[in-house]
């Protein structure tokens, strides 16, 4: 074969390979489908037993050693800590037990899936993630993550930042010391969300670092998020980040990190019942604290359910202690130029309406360096726009340090 013939043959073969390659290369849609499928396989571990909740959720009972936490490379050979070495001192004294077991006790609440059954010992309940939930996010990588700039920052209350980020808060906070945990009893509601890309929550924040790219945060409370869950149900949630929501952390068990030990309570599952305006009130107790022996950050729900822990290596600043603690409400407002939707915070009513009408946090406490639970000193309040969402605090014998908070969003006083 001559040189010219060889060149032609090579060109034809290369063209044929290029055409075949182009035909078999995954398209953008196919790439996304494959990425979603892989993501769901990683999250939805094989179940020992599955329960269909009345709200449509599927709760998978997964072997405790097979949970998503252990996808983390640093946790491959981790020995699960089945209980904290220490609880905070004072957690089970008479005063705290009285507040836990009061008339509106947290244990009167349950999760809807409990109506169908429970998970066996040695497993943990994981809410199954659905394909449509992943597809609602901007990308598979961002699924289960908060948007950036979501921390209430009393130090940087810049109106332009408020309008740009859309996040608004009504909180109580303490700073200026070292904090090793926080506790609160949180009133549970089902606020109205106007737009599906908005949310409303009530939570506590354990914070370390600055409010820049190095922020460490552990968060827990209740949340209504149509975007994340596809409905308006009130759900228990946790969150963590070690780099200001950039690349680390997620809600619940939607990434590797938090190690759950409880077989009783499912992160992200619906809380029931919720408070009604002028009628019965319900609340949940949340405690997050740093085990002084092992250094891990633990979470307890109610007076009975130790949920699990965040290993200390996940964090930089929080590997030692927190420098700020916040309690309160947050909403996302999607309207531009300072206008507001009618997404509600808390009960959707202003704090001056009081018990039974406004939402509250009560018996708020911090954990000090000696692992003692105590009422915080020097509580400050913060809200970006008190005519939309407000906060008012107080102190008494039964409720200790408390505050009422919330608001209706768009209203005659808030445009």
Among 167-176, 205-214, 323-332, which is the least confidently predicted range?
205-214
pLDDT score, position 92 = 83
Local structure of 385: helix, strand or coil: coil
Annotated catalytic residue: which of 133, 326, 330, 384?
330
Would you say the pTM of this structure is higher than 0.95?
Answer: no
Query: How far apart are alpha carbons 34 and 332 in whole angstroms?
Result: 31
What is the mean pLDDT of the segment spanning 38-67? 96
> Is pLDDT at 384 greater than 50 in this prediction?
yes
What is the mean pLDDT of the segment spanning 338-353? 95
Question: What tokens appear for 203 in the block?
Answer: 């939570």
Task: From 291, 274, 297, select the one nearest 371 (Cα to Cα).
Answer: 291
Assess whether 219 carries a catalytic annotation.
yes
* pLDDT category of residue 268 using cuts at 50, 70 and 90: very high
pLDDT score, position 156 = 55
What is the mean pLDDT of the segment spanning 136-152? 79
Q: Running DSSP on this structure, what letter comes out for residue 47?
A: P
What is the mean pLDDT of the segment spanning 193-204? 95
When computed from its CA atoms, the radius of gyration of the chain, rounded to whole angstroms, is 24
Express each pLDDT in 302-318 by its tens digit: 988 999 999 999 999 99
Average pLDDT, the chain: 89
pLDDT score, position 14 = 46
Assess whether 330 carries a catalytic annotation.
yes
Contact 365, 375 (CB under 8 A): yes
> Is pLDDT at 1 greater than 80 in this prediction?
no
φ and ψ of 110, to 5 deg: -145, -175
Query: How far apart are alpha carbons 80 and 97 in whole angstroms?
Result: 29
> Is pLDDT at 405 greater than 80 in this prediction?
yes
Residue 133: in which H helix or E strand, if any?
Answer: helix 131-135
Annotated catalytic residue: which of 100, 133, 198, 219?
219
């Amino acid at each position: 074969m001559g040189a010219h013939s060889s060149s032609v043959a090579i060109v034809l073969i290369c063209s044929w390979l290029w055409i075949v390659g182009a035909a078999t290369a995954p398209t953008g849609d196919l790439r996304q489908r494959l990425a979603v499928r892989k993501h769901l396989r990683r999250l939805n571990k094989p179940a020992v037993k599955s329960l269909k909740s009345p709200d449509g959720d599927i709760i998978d009972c997964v072997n405790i050693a097979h949970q998503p936490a252990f996808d983390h490379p640093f946790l491959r050979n981790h020995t699960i800590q089945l209980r904290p070495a220490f609880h905070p001192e004072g957690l089970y004294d008479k005063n705290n037990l009285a507040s836990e077991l009061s008339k509106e006790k947290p244990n009167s609440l349950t999760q809807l899936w409990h109506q169908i059954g429970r998970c066996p010992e040695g497993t943990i309940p994981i809410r199954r993630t659905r394909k449509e939930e992943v597809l609602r996010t901007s990308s598979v990588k961002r699924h289960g993550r908060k948007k950036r700039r979501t921390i209430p920052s009393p130090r940087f209350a810049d109106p332009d930042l408020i309008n740009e980020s859309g996040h608004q808060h009504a909180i109580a906070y303490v700073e200026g010391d070292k904090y090793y945990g926080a506790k609160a009893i949180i009133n549970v509601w089902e606020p109205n969300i106007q737009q599906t890309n908005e949310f409303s929550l009530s939570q506590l924040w354990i914070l370390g670092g600055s409010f820049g790219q190095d922020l460490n945060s552990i968060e827990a409370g209740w949340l209504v998020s149509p975007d994340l869950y596809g409905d308006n149900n009130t759900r228990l949630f946790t969150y963590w980040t070690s780099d200001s929501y950039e690349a680390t952390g997620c809600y619940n068990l939607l990434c590797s990190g938090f190690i759950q030990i409880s077989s009783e309570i499912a992160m992200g599952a619906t809380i029931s019942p919720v408070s009604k305006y002028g009628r019965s009130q319900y609340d949940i107790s949340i405690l997050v604290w740093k085990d002084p022996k092992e250094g891990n950050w633990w979470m307890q729900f109610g007076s009975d359910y130790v949920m699990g822990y965040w290993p200390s290596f996940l964090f930089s600043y929080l590997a030692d202690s927190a420098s700020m603690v916040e309690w309160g409400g947050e909403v996302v407002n999607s309207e531009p130029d300072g206008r507001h939707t009618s997404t509600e915070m808390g009960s959707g009513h202003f704090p001056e309406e009081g018990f039974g009408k406004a939402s509250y946090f009560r018996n708020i406490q911090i954990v000090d360096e000696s692992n003692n639970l105590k009422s915080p000193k020097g509580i400050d309040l913060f809200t970006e726009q008190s005519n939309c969402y407000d906060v008012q605090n107080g102190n008494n014998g039964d409720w200790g340090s408390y505050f009422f908070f919330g608001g209706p969003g768009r209203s005659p006083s808030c445009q």
